[in-house]
Structure 1
Amino acid sequence: MAINEKSPSPAPAIVESEPATRCGSNTPGLAATSSNNGEKPIAHASLEERAGALAVPPPSGTTSSRYRWLVHVQFFACCWAMVVAGWNDGSTGPLLPRIQEVYGVNYTIVSLVWVFACVGFLTGAIANMFLEPRFGFGKTIFIGACFQFVGYAIESAALPFPAFVLGYAINGVGMALQDAQANGYVSNLPNSSTKMSFLHAAYGLGALASPLAATQFAQLPHWSFHFLISFGVALLDAIILAAVFRFKTHDECLAAIGQVRHLDEPSEKNDDSGSETEKSHFRKVMTLKETHLMAVFILVYVGVEVTVGGWTVTYVINERNGGPSSGYISTGFFGGLTLGRMGLIWANNKIGERKALVIYAALAIGLELVVWLVHSLVGDAIAVSFVGFFLGPMYPIAMNVCGRIIPPSLLTGSIGWIAGLGQAGSALFPFITGAISNKAGIESLQPIVVAMMAFTIGLWICVPRDKVRTASPSSSSPEGAGAIPPPPRPVVNV
């Protein structure tokens, strides 16, 4: 580890350092500190005092090693939450024909599993903006995990259809809370852009593994026992999140790894602010146009992703005379999704994330046309896998862009709404596809998917260019309201 003194510059690199005495902000980046000897909190100090409070000594070698270890542990916990989300989404497609058979329902009625999940996702996305300021990161993400395993417990019992789909709604609330918190937290970790790609690759791993189990259970008398495996995976998720984050706030968890956040708003848990702060935060998030534009993009993108992964199995069985093992095509799709999120990181950096996303979407459209027009079971299976490969990087790219166009103080709440609405897309568009297929036949799947992919390109073009993040959406200063002049800082090369 080498320590080099660095002279003041307009934008010095902020690197790992010893945690401040107390983290008290709600945004990524710089530190929030306050003393225990009666001094006024740094949140209310002058710019000079705030800048001076940031000049903390660099960590020792032992401390740096401990920080790195804790970063990996925390990142693994977030990844496991995404594995559970992927496991959930990857299970539906292979089980769908069996659900129709058991309950005797058509395409429209069986699509209610996605409608109820959509209700759960939207409920969780809105609840997240109130739960996090009140309870903090650690408790909120744990609550999400609890909702999820309760939902699986209901589904595993194969109750009458109304109760069965209710389990999807409960599950949706849990997924939305965890998705929001995991994305928001990883966006504050070191090397967050690369970690974001691996975070969503973990989603792909879960979606890759679940069809292997779901396809087998779909052929067994006790088909619903698949959800007992899901229950165990979700229960393990809750245990991991509780053990790693220990119900601490966002700032406390970051302080444990020597990371700190910008001090432009009160902390995520402020007893003095009460419900007024929560309402103010909610209002700011919901009036930010960038948030809603990205939310609509993610809504359509996730809708495409889950529609392809969920309905392609039924399409292949009916249109390509596929057998019971056609469920493995869903495995190929999500396997491609996982590989794309990890394997195309270099391409994203090489050509730029914005251009890369447009190229990937165009290639995915071309491959989906192959599935539509080429009547070959093997050829379609291969094409579907490559569709997943090129769709894969689009979600983490969008999350990275969110971090560059949304004010830091609103980032976690905004990502919660964006991710929650995206999960709603995973329910809304498969339902629409099912309703249309019930009238026009399952062969209508491909033109619907192609149109949705083309729409994502149009939405992406409308996303504003990267800008310097500000403290509030109304800030006119290029550095944001309350920007802190950076003090001389040592650069720590770990």
Structure 2
Amino acid sequence: MELQPISSGIGPSLPVTPGEESVKSLNFNVHRDEDHGSQGASPSHVIRARIHLFAIYFSMFLAGWNDGSNGPLIPRMQKVYDVGFLLVSLTFVVSCIGFISGALMNVHWTDKVGFGRMIVFGASLQVAAYSIQAPAPPFPLFVISFSLNGFGLAIQNAQTNAYVASLRLNSELYMGMLHASYGAGALSSPLLATQFAQMQHWSFHYLVSLGLALSNVIMLTLTFRGRTLDECLSLVGEAAGETSTSDHSNFRQILSLKGVHILAFFTLVYVGVEVTIGGWITTYIIDVRSGGPSSGYISSGFFGGIMVGRLALLWLNQKVGEQRVLYLYAVLAISLELIVWLVPSLIGGAVAVALIGVFLGPIYPIVMNHAGRVVPRWLLSGSIGWIAGFGQAGSALLPFITGAIASKAGIKALQPLLISMMAMFPVLWALVGHFSLPRRID
């Protein structure tokens, strides 16, 4: 049987497998309605869409703010609590446990609870976590609080990505802006955290985070009002997506998709690299390059690079194609990491770290765009939660491994570890293409 190419208008055409023919026949009416609806969006739809996106972007900003705070504060945590690299790395591990738990809960409860309630619940857990962290409680309680934060972030991550990936018009642009918001938060927080790290009341940084988290809860509550995802999308003129006809649970359907698991493992390595750089580069610069207390600003440069890359390189993604351009970003990031490792220059290292952020930045949105194109909508939130949950496992595993190795060999082992992990990017991305899921048509 000859395979006929199909196209959704985004990226290269892919062949149709026999199984996809039935999917196409089931959804062609929805696709036509979508085209009609997207061209006839009313001004009220546009206004509501902007309000929804602003609330979602602020939620992702806070996720970046949270992750960007860790690097500059780690040296102060070690000093205040008198712990080494290994014990302070437990903050990553506990956060990971919370994130994976949240991702699993998201798969089971999104359809029952609904988009609007789930995302507010996740935001509320961040409020609880910062309330515990702000007074600098005993170390065990301080560490445990990171699990609440991870749980809440997992739910918000899945819901925000699912919302944007469900949009039919300009979803790549909106996805880039969503994750640029993460970069903006991660850029901003080290600037403040570096100052608090040098103060007596260093943990008051979490009071600022608490204020942002409360604002997030209020904004999400007023914007989405407990509505389901389809209800929210209908308010902005989006047609309803396809629904499941399978007798199996969503969780079982997700587990049966090989492509989801390959994407998840790729995300594990990518997020692990990103968080390891952001979390440990300050310590590396201080100990290996003899940087001063202001070395925390290098972490800001890295996350600022991520923000810039996710917006400034959108044109390159479209010109080269998201499937191919990721290989280019991987090669450039590895080359720059070699410069950080082998060139003993403080300024050169700082510039290289920022450029690494620029080229790593577009990778995560590309992964989410790919998932949005190939996963059926009724599985999208759960699949993204599963993929992001694995990513968060990487955000704990790699920084923890780095801390464990650093406790024996010193923090200078950071660079070879990062390069070996980055070398896995092109290999895993090739597997993503090989085990690609059936193309989603809705």
CA shift in 2, pair 1:47/1:432, >3 Å:
closer
Could you tell me which of 167, 173, 192 is aligned with 1:213?
Answer: 192
- Give the partner amino acid of 1:139: R
- Give 1:55-70 correspondences, 5 Å limit: 64-70=42-48
Distance 1:323 1:92 in 2: 17
Q: Equivalent residue for 1:199?
A: 178
Using the TM superposition, give the Cα deviation of residue 425 of structure 1 relative to its aligned residue in structure 2, in angstroms: 1.6
8 A Cα contact 1:83 1:207, kept in partner:
yes
Whose helix proportion is higher, 1 or 2? 2
Deviation readout 1:197-223 (Å, 9 max, x if unpaired): 110000000000000110000000000
Distance 1:200 1:48 in 2: 30
- Give the partner amino acid of 1:437: A
Distance 2:190 2:222 in 1: 29
Is residue 381 of structure 2 the alignment partner of residue 412 of structure 1?
yes
Is residue 320 of structure 2 the alignment partner of residue 364 of structure 1?
no
Is residue 153 of structure 2 the alignment partner of residue 184 of structure 1?
no
Distance 2:294 2:31 in 1: 64
With normalisation by structure 1, the TM-score equals 0.81
Using the TM superposition, give the Cα deviation of residue 464 of structure 1 relative to its aligned residue in structure 2, in angstroms: 2.5
8 A Cα contact 1:290 1:406, kept in partner:
no
Could you tell me which of 233, 240, 247 is aligned with 2:219?
Answer: 240
8 A Cα contact 2:308 2:358, kept in partner:
yes
Is residue 148 of structure 2 the alignment partner of residue 170 of structure 1?
yes
Deviation readout 1:334-393 (Å, 9 max, x if unpaired): 111100000000000111112111111110000000000011111100110001010000
Is residue 112 of structure 2 the alignment partner of residue 134 of structure 1?
yes
CA shift in 2, pair 1:60/1:357, >3 Å:
closer
Could you tell me which of 115, 136, 141 is aligned with 2:93?
Answer: 115
Is residue 435 of structure 2 the alignment partner of residue 435 of structure 1?
no
Distance 1:389 1:49 in 2: 39
Distance 2:165 2:289 in 1: 43
Distance 1:53 1:192 in 2: 18
Deviation readout 1:171-194 (Å, 9 max, x if unpaired): 000000000000000112231111
Could you tell me which of 268, 272, 296 is aligned with 1:299?
Answer: 268
Deviation readout 1:449-490 (Å, 9 max, x if unpaired): 0001001221111113666535xxxxxxxx7xxx8xxxxxxx
**The residue matched to 1:463 in structure 2 has which SS?**
helix
8 A Cα contact 1:298 1:418, kept in partner:
yes
Is residue 71 of structure 2 the alignment partner of residue 93 of structure 1?
yes
8 A Cα contact 1:179 1:416, kept in partner:
yes
* Greater gyration radius: 1
Q: Quick one: percent identity of the two aligned structures?
A: 51
8 A Cα contact 2:33 2:239, kept in partner:
no
CA shift in 2, pair 1:60/1:385, >3 Å:
closer
CA shift in 2, pair 1:213/1:463, >3 Å:
same
CA shift in 2, pair 1:47/1:395, >3 Å:
closer
With normalisation by structure 2, the TM-score equals 0.90
CA shift in 2, pair 1:51/1:83, >3 Å:
closer
Structure 2 residues not aligned, in runs of 5+:
1-5, 10-22
Using the TM superposition, give the Cα deviation of residue 47 of structure 1 relative to its aligned residue in structure 2, in angstroms: 7.1
CA shift in 2, pair 1:105/1:464, >3 Å:
same
CA shift in 2, pair 1:52/1:117, >3 Å:
closer
Using the TM superposition, give the Cα deviation of residue 132 of structure 1 relative to its aligned residue in structure 2, in angstroms: 0.4
8 A Cα contact 1:340 1:390, kept in partner:
yes
Q: Equivalent residue for 1:312?
A: 281
Structure 1 residues not aligned, in runs of 5+:
1-9, 14-29, 31-45, 267-275, 471-478, 484-494
**The residue matched to 2:249 in structure 1 has which SS?**
helix
Could you tell me which of 435, 458, 469 is aligned with 2:439?
Answer: 469
Q: Equivalent residue for 1:260?
A: 239
Deviates more, 1:114-123 or 1:406-415: 406-415
8 A Cα contact 2:37 2:238, kept in partner:
no
**The residue matched to 1:158 in structure 2 has which SS?**
coil
Deviates more, 1:187-196 or 1:158-167: 187-196
